[in-house]
Structure 1
Amino acid sequence: MKFGKEFKKKMVPEWAEAHMDYNGLKRILRELREYKQRKHSRDLLDHKIAAVGAPPPNRIISGIELQSSSLQNTNEDIEDQVIDVNTLHGDGCRQFYKTKFLRQSEEGGEIEVTFFKKLDEELNKVNTFYKDKVEEVKQEANHLDKQMEALVALRIKVKKPKQYGSNSKGHRNSAVPLTSNKSSAADASGNEPMGLTSESKQHQREPSPGPSEVNPTQIKNPGSDDREVLNIYDYREDPLEVLEHVKIKNTLESPISTIKGVFKDSREEELSFGKEELKRVEERLRAVFIQFYHKLQLLKHYSFMNLSAFSKIMKKYQKITSRGAARSYMLIVDNSYLGSSDEVTNLLERAEATFIQNFSNSNRREGMKSLRPKAKREKHAVTFFSGFFCGCSIALMVAIILRMEARKLMDKEKGAQYMKNIFPLYSLFGYITIHMLMYAADIYFWRRYRVNYAFIFGFKKGTELGYREVFLLSSGLAVLALGGLLANLHLDMDSSAEIYKTLTELVPLGLLILVLAITFCPFNIIYRSSRFFFIRCLFRCIGAPLYPETSPDFFLADQLTSQVQALRSFVLYICYYGLGEYSRRQSKCHSHGVYNTLYFIIVVIPFWMRFLKCIRRFCEEKDVKHMRNGLKYFSTIVAVIIRTAYELKKGKTSWMVLALICSAVATTMNMYWDIVIDWGLLRTKSKNKYLRDRLLVSHKIIYFAAMVLNVVLRLAWMQLVLEFKLTTVHKMTISTIIAFLEVIRRGIWSFFRLENEHLNNVGEYRAFKSVPLPFSYYDEDAEKDD
């Protein structure tokens, strides 16, 4: 693989614009090479003309003279005479580099001047970005040191409450700190972290330990065996004095914490020195350390990739021009902050030591598994079985169609009854399968256009499913559903199986139980981590607004709003099998008041969850945009209720008019929100007219086609209200097709929605999520107030 493609593939997607513009520099070198080739062709022509004795023009003679004079100097060591790099100092002691090309008077010199000007701009850009990010992680390391100090004090208080009372000495954690053991005044100010200075300076600044500071004390971790101990050293101060300045942040991440936050004026609570509180703090700090370590890894990778890019581009320049400027310029690059700074490496080592000591019982292997999870590897078996199940699904589908045509099932009254009773039960699996296929297609295109969907959804590295795995699951589900439908159809049509007719209708129920059993199976089979991630997100959606909204939560809730017919199928299963309708070979569910009530409620639930989420975000962020989004979902709730009422009360013209008005208002609001807010399109002042400034898909017609298709598919509900007469198509088939079209529309929406989210992250260089710290210090709050 060429370096340019590898560089683009391995760069941090959210920092793409902060990386060196390798392709831009290559274009300048390509222009320089083409100029050199044209010049070489002219020189050859001049030599041929001179060989036959024809007097060349003055321009050509001068060119030969210039070339001959340049050839005389090729053997000289002119490396230091090609470029002169000056180091300039800007605001905040920042260094900037400006290169002067000393051969500008030669032919093609203007292009080389442009190249070095662009090269300086990229070096200054990369250097500035890297230094800013390093400063951010250094400040975060200071905060983490204070958090660890409070955690160690809390551990001491919880594990040895009597031995380490107010009159006894405190203790310090033996793990390597992220910041230094300076004087107490320096620690309190937190101005300069020790972990970012050289080792020699650290040894000079660190005070020699006294006798009371080197006696280790072993304290058992709660819930551990006798071999798992925590090594700590003596503090100069009582741990209680540290804890007196500390409060616990209430992040409102659970229903209980949300309720407490609502009924309390402050979102902070006093320490209770309990084991449950200690466990909760340790879990949050563990997540903070893993995220911090991930940031350091990204910064180290950023530095390595850009240094490699500068080296590669200078080698290309040297190859094209035969000038020896690469060594001089790379010396400047290596001495720049990007190439010479080792703060990130030091912080990585210290973060590893601290994490292993405090969060993995000094077990390095277990600690590194958490800090550096292995990337997921593609398996050939997944591709094989995906193709196998896909072929089986197509074969089963053809067999079902041929079976129905051979028996003329749709021309008989029995066929209509079958469509009314059995087909809705199996259509549930069809809705799920088509949704999973659309999700697999979305993943494929997200990867192709480098949309970091794993980061947006918060998937743990190595556990996210690729499009092959999702396609395998969807094709496997399709085989189960189509196989059950064919078996059910065969037994229904076979006269010899008359005694099994009641039993055959239990086939779809058995399939549903099997799918639910696999979904909630606690064993480590069939992508358990992804299944549990889905279950947690679903539970958080149902518990809205007691849980804070996260990206996977709102994304799943939006997907559920397009699965109204699938949710109604669940209600149909309850009625059909719970009330014994299957044994009478006819569906009379609408005659039951409980079923009609559930028929209303189940449709409203997805939109209601999104409405409550919007209300919570409005209360937390005070952003009117969330209130407008909530009104959009509320209008959809009203429209869905009116349409459902019209469906149950046939022949009522007033209900039809009301359903049309409410649905039109809700559809208009939803279309505007889809295209303008979620997709970020229809920007009149954009450089891409009626689109965004940034587009991942190069063909602009794709965006316009998606907008038109979104409008058309949004209006598909009109068929359900107006009921256009299609005599050749059964009504159940029409409603199923419309439900499939809504799922397809949601799949298209999903791609552009995440593309817009990804571009927003790119615009803000947001490559990692912020994890809230568990402790809050009183002195920090006072500084904020000041």
Structure 2
Amino acid sequence: MKFNRRLQAHLTPEWRKQYIAYGRLRELIYAAQDSSPSQGDVQAYEEYFEEVEKDYMNEIKLELDKVEKFFKARELMSKSKFATLKSEAEKLKRLSLSGHQEVRITHEEAMDLWSNAVKVGKGGEKTKSVKRAHPKHNRTRITKSHVTSRLKALKLAFSEFYLDLILLQQYQVLNREGFRKILKKHDKEWRTSTGLTFHLSVIMNSYFVTSVEIDNLILQVETVSIETLEGGNRRRAMNRLRVPALESDRVSHSSTFFLGLNVGMSTVLIVVAVLVGVFLANFQSPVSCKTDYSIRNYTLYASNGSFGNQSFGNESYGNENCISGDWVRVSAVKMFRGSLYVALIITLIGVNTLGWRMRGVNHVLIFEVNPRDHLTAYQLMGIGTFMFVTWLTCLIGFFVTCQCWSGKFAFLWPIAVWVIYLLYALNPIKILQYSSRKWFLKIFRRIVCAPFYSVNFPDFWLADQWTSMGGVLLDFYFTVCFFIHMWDKDPGDQNCTICTSVGNGIRPLLAGLPSWFRFAQCVRRYNDTRKFFPHAVNAGKYLTGVVEVIFSALYHHYKETGGAPQTGPFFYAWIVSFVIVFVYKLYWDLVMDWGLMKAKYGFLREELIYRLKALYYVAIVEDAILRLLWILKVTVFQTDADRFRTELLGGLVSVLELIRRFVWNFFRLENEHLNNCGEFRATRDISIKPLSRSDKKEARDDANVEAERSRPVAFAVSSV
């Protein structure tokens, strides 16, 4: 492999600009050679290369100075951080001495323990490590569970710090090799030995080449981890410090096989589903299930359930709609639709992950997941395609059961899809990507409980995905409502609008939840940072989404109670809110989330990761067009009398919204990655404050320490 390709494959993306500009220096060599005079004019030839070589060596010196400054700064930061972590490890070890139920320390140390906190990641939660037994007692109580929690956080901090050291060591090696390679090429192409002389006299004596501080720090981190954190267990310590491949994610053969198997099965099942559907359409017109008294009379016309800006659809009311030949098709579309979207979005996020990895966007750091244990792009796509296989299997089962057995039991198939999804997500056994599922459920809990948790990037990114999947909640509610109120009821007990009416407030509530979650998160971020812009302004964007849902609900409730379909104040308020939401969100997508629309750079931005500029312009147009699909909700969806066609069109709009979100993801993470590059942030920020503010006390001998403890404070370490 050519060195430039190896450099691009192994460099740390966030430090890209701090590496030797090998490609540019190589081009300077070739450009100078192409512009050189004829070798027949010896004097002119020698004078030309003498001048060019002087300029070239100046470029080499500038690159060397850049590398030296960056390496020294990172090395100094690493030494300071190691001193803090080592001090914390030693103090924590003293608190967790085996066989001791109480640890006696000074009153000042007790106060330090009381005020100390552990912070993990940007905006992470702070967890108190010490609890007072009672304000009246001059005692502070710390349990083993608290010590264990702090020890776990400290191990995580050491593992992240170790990864940072390995990246810095790799930086050192790659730049050393880069200078050697480029100077060797310089001598070869220009037929001189100046490069060798410069390499031996300057490069080999430079600080970043001669320094062994990083190697020593790596050994010290390993020693502390083995002896202090893991009690001498070398295997366990080194397994925790294990560094993932520094190049692109290695492709697992099992993951690719599983993905390929699912894609092949999906292809076959799609063909089978189409053939079965065509067969039933040709021989049973309209498509209908075998007669089943308790369910045959239901026609369930309801919302289109479209994504993004929720509406409640083209509904017909009255008991006459409960007896119709289209009820199977309309109901099946609504009950199968939401689960299909879940499979699709997971597959698309897998494609997103593959694109980020190929272009060097460090999504692992941005999402703050464990770099040693996370889902790869192929695993994500494998999960999504497996869900699609499950969905297709249940759809075919629905067709066959409906035609050959019982219409009543045919409707168990759509609920079976959701049951399989939930069993996978909530499975407590440590199999099937347990750590990743646990991470997802943790983020999901933080979203639902907003604004009571601080907000990190994964929190609001996943909540943004839900703003494009609000229709899943509506379709899931329809499925559950159907089985509760309509699945096994006698015709006399039918209420065919109970699952589609907005009068009970459930459907508007579900439609507005995704926007509410993001609004609450923005409010929390404003409360934490006190920055009106962008957080308070961003909260206003999602508040307009909630207002749009409210006006939509009022308009459809007005229709239910006999109001004119296209008149009235609520209809016009709904239209105005749609326009405001469209302008507000489009501006935020392009300017804030993507960082584009800078006129100086052709309405893009200064730095671009994706090579083709045309992709950015296409994405801008695509985002605007797909956000305009709300027009269909106030035109076609409100006037088309064909309910089945309306539901299918609503499903298509939903898929297009997912595609819009899929494209949005590429540029949103690109912008976040560039922000991390500006801060040279390549690993998660795991900062642990020292237990004591005064390190001098740790250096005192035992006699002085005992003399200082005139007012002892006991820490009772209880057994758990």
Shared fold (TM-score, shorter chain, > 0.5): yes
Counterpart code for 1:304:
V
Counterpart of 2:312?
A: none
> CA contact under 8 A between 2:14 and 2:676: conserved in structure 1?
yes
Match of 1:548 among 441, 454, 457: 454
Q: Deviation per CA, 1:370-420, whole angstroms, max 9, x where unpaired? A: 111444642334323323322332332233333333433796375621222
Conserved 8 A contact 1:14-1:765 = yes
* Structural mapping, 1:753-764, within 5 Å: 753-764=668-679
Residue 389 of structure 1 aligns to which amino acid in structure 2? N
Query: What do the CA deviations read for 1:433-483 (whole angstroms, capped 9, x no partner)?
Result: 221222122112112211111110112123222222222222221111112
Equivalent in the alignment of 1:349: 219
Asked if 1:607 is matched to 2:547, the reply is no
Distance 1:148 1:746 in 2: 44
Match in the other structure for 2:231 = 361
CA distance in 2, matches of 1:582, 1:318: 86
Of 431, 434, 438, 1:532 maps to: 438
Structure 2 residue aligned with 1:152: 93
Distance 1:587 1:458 in 2: 48
Residue deviations 1:89-114, cap 9 Å, x none? xxxxxxxxxxxxxxxx5333333223
Q: Distance in 2 between matches of 1:65 and 1:683?
A: 50
Q: Which amino acid aligns with 1:750?
A: N
Residue 16 of structure 1 corresponds to 16
Q: Contact between 2:158 and 2:221, CA under 8 Å: does it hold in 1? A: yes
2:478–2:499 Cα contact (<8 Å) kept: no
Percent identity among equivalent residues? Answer: 26
1:640 matched to 2:549 = yes
User: Could you tell me which of 116, 136, 144 is aligned with 1:249?
Assistant: 116
1:199-210 map, 5 Å: none
Paired position in structure 1 for 2:625? 712
State whether structure 2 residue 422 is matched by structure 1 residue 516. Answer: yes
Alignment of 1:47-126 (within 5 A): 63=41, 106-126=47-67
Provide the rounded CA distance (Å) in 2 between the counterparts of 1:260 and 1:425.
Answer: 48
Deviation at 1:10, TM superposition (A): 0.5
2:540 maps to 1:666: no
Q: Which residue matches 2:655?
A: 740
* Deviation for aligned residue 1:17: 0.4
In the alignment, structure 1 residue 699 sits paired with structure 2 residue 609: no
Q: Does 1:31 align with 2:31?
A: yes
Q: CA deviation at 1:64?
A: 5.8
Look up the match of 2:362: 452
User: What is the deviation of 1:258?
Assistant: 8.8
1:572 and 2:478 correspond: yes
Could you tell me which of 724, 749, 757 is aligned with 2:664? 749
Match of 1:233 in 2: none
Number of the residue aligned with 1:484: 394
Moved more, 478-487 or 516-525: 516-525
Written as runs of structure 1 = structure 2, the 5 A alignment for 1:170-319 is 242-243=109-110, 245-250=112-117, 272-319=141-188
Task: Tell me whether 1:563 sits opposite 2:469 in the alignment.
Answer: yes
| Structure ranking higher on relative contact order (CA contacts 8 Å, 6+ apart) | 2
1:20 Cα deviation after fit = 0.7
- How far residue 143 of structure 1 moved from its aligned partner, in angstroms, is 2.5
Q: Distance in 2 between matches of 1:272 and 1:595?
A: 54
Partner of 1:219: none
CA distance in 2, matches of 1:260, 1:620: 22
Distance 1:647 1:402, change over 3 A: farther
For the residue of structure 2 that corresponds to 1:160, the secondary structure is: coil
Amino acid at match of 1:471: M
Report the 3-state secondary structure (helix = DSSP H, G, I; strand = E; otherwise coil) of the residue aligned with 1:408: helix
Q: Partner of 2:272 in structure 1?
A: 399
State the SS of the aligned residue for 1:320.
helix
Give 1:134 shift.
Answer: 1.1
| Alignment-mate amino acid for residue 510 of structure 2 | I
For residues 350 and 242 of structure 1, do their structure 2 counterparts lie closer, same or farther at Cα, with a shift above 3 Å needed?
Answer: farther
Q: Residues 247 and 270 of structure 1 are in contact (CA less than 8 Å); yes or no, is this contact kept in structure 2?
A: no
Q: TM-score, normalised by structure 2?
A: 0.82
Query: Quick check: 1:380 aligned with 2:276?
Result: no
Q: Describe the shift of the 1:241–1:648 C-alpha distance in structure 2 as closer, same or farther (beyond 3 A).
A: closer
Residues 483-530 of structure 1 deviation map (CA, whole Å, 9 limit, x = unaligned): 211221123234xx2xx3212211121222122112222334332222
Separation (CA, whole Å) in 2 of partners of 1:256 and 1:762:
24
**1:772 offset after TM fit, Å?**
3.2
Q: In structure 2, give the amino acid aligned to 1:398.
A: V
Deviation at 1:553, TM superposition (A): 1.3
Q: Distance in 1 between matches of 2:48 and 2:538?
A: 62
Q: Report deviation, 1:589.
A: 5.1
Residue 23 of structure 1 aligns with an amino acid whose one-letter code is: G
Moved more, 449-458 or 651-660: 651-660
- Superposition deviation, residue 319 in structure 1: 1.4
Distance 2:484 2:503 in 1: 11
Counterpart check, 1:5 vs 2:5: yes
- 1:535–1:448 distance in 2 versus 1, CA, 3 Å: same
TM-score for both structures, normalised by structure 1: 0.75
Note closer, same or farther for the CA distance 1:712–1:330 as it changes in structure 2 (3 Å cut): same
* Separation of aligned partners in 1, 2:222 and 2:667: 38
Cα distance in 2 for residues equivalent to 1:242 and 1:648 = 64
Quote the residue 1:175 is aligned against.
none
Between the aligned partners of 1:39 and 1:582, the Cα distance in structure 2 is 94
Separation in 2, partners of 1:9, 1:579 = 58
C-alpha separation in 2, matches of 1:148 and 1:384: 44
CA deviation after TM superposition for structure 1 residue 241, in Å: 6.0
| Matched-pair contact (CA < 8 Å) for 1:646–1:659 | yes
Alignment partner for residue 68 of structure 2, among 120, 127, 145? Answer: 127
Task: Give the counterpart letter for 2:455 in structure 1.
Answer: E
CA distance in 2, matches of 1:483, 1:109: 74
Give the secondary-structure state (helix, strand or coil) at the position aligned to 1:39. coil
Tell me by how many angstroms 1:638 deviates. Answer: 1.0
Report the Cα offset of residue 615 of structure 1.
1.1
Change (3 A) 1:528 1:308: same
Tell me the secondary structure at the aligned position of residue 745 of structure 1: helix
- Distance in 2 (CA, whole Å) between partners of 1:251 and 1:633 is 32
Q: Distance in 2 between matches of 1:300 and 1:64?
A: 45
SS of the equivalent of 2:612 reads coil
Q: CA deviation at 1:148?
A: 3.1
Equivalence for 2:496: 588
What's the secondary structure of 2:629's corresponding residue?
Answer: helix
- Measured against aligned partners, the alpha-carbon deviations of 1:174-225 in whole angstroms (never above 9, x if no partner) come to xxxxxxxxxxxxxxxxxxxxxxxxxxxxxxxxxxxxxxxxxxxxxxxxxxxx
Classify 1:628/1:255 alpha carbon distance in 2 versus 1 (closer, same or farther; 3 Å): same
C-alpha contact 1:421 1:587 (8 A) present in aligned 2: no
Report the AA paired with residue 347 of structure 2: L
In structure 2, distance between residues paired with 1:777 and 1:629: 40
Whether 1:598 aligns to 2:506 is: yes
Cα deviation, 1:150-170, whole Å, max 9, x if unaligned, reads 3234335x96355x64xxxxx
2:96 aligned counterpart, secondary structure:
helix
**Deviations, residues 23-62 of structure 1 (Å, cap 9, x unaligned):** 01010111234346x735xx4xxxxxxxxxxxxxxxxxxx
Could you tell me whether the CA contact under 8 Å between 2:347 and 2:383 is conserved in 1? Answer: no
- After superposition, the CA RMSD in angstroms is 3.0
Amino acid at match of 2:65: N
Query: CA, structure 1 residues 604+744, in 2 after alignment: closer, same or farther (shift >3 Å)?
Result: same
- Secondary structure of 1:772's partner? strand
CA deviation map 1:63-106 (0-9, x unaligned): 26888xxxxxxxxxxxxxxxxxxxxxxxxxxxxxxxxxxxxx53
Contact 1:15–1:762 (8 Å) recurs in 2: yes
